[in-house]
């Protein structure tokens, strides 16, 4: 299955049991902004990717779908 960042963010958020609101607060983002990532309408910037990797304890390659 081809993974896109939107799929990974939502998948990992749900695995950790976070709501969109909780994850958005951790990232200092709006819920609307996070939802747009999960819908593929926009993508996180480099700093947000770093923070997501720390929160989910994964590599950037995994988050970006470059590594399974």
Domain membership flag for residue 39: yes
Half-sphere exposure of 46 (CA within 13 A, CB side): 0
> Cβ–Cβ contacts within 10 Å for residue 23, how many?
22
CATH of the domain at 51: 1.10.260.40
- pLDDT for the residue 2: 54
- pLDDT for the residue 3: 64
Domain membership flag for residue 66: no
Per the structure, the count of domains in the chain is: 1
Structure confidence by residue, pLDDT tens digits, 17-58 = 999 999 999 999 999 999 999 999 999 999 999 999 999 999
Domain membership flag for residue 38: yes
Domain range for residue 11?
5-61
- 4, pLDDT greater than 90: no
CA distance 4 to 44: 12
Q: Is 1 helix (H, G, I), strand (E, B) or coil?
A: coil
pTM for this model (two decimals): 0.89
């Amino acid at each position: 299955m081809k993974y896109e960042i939107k799929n990974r963010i939502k998948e990992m958020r749900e695995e950790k049991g976070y709501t969109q609101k909780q994850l958005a607060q951790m990232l200092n983002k709006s819920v609307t902004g996070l939802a747009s990532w999960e819908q593929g309408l926009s993508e996180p910037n480099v700093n947000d990717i770093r923070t997501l990797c720390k929160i989910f304890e994964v590599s950037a390659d995994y988050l970006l779908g470059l590594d399974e």
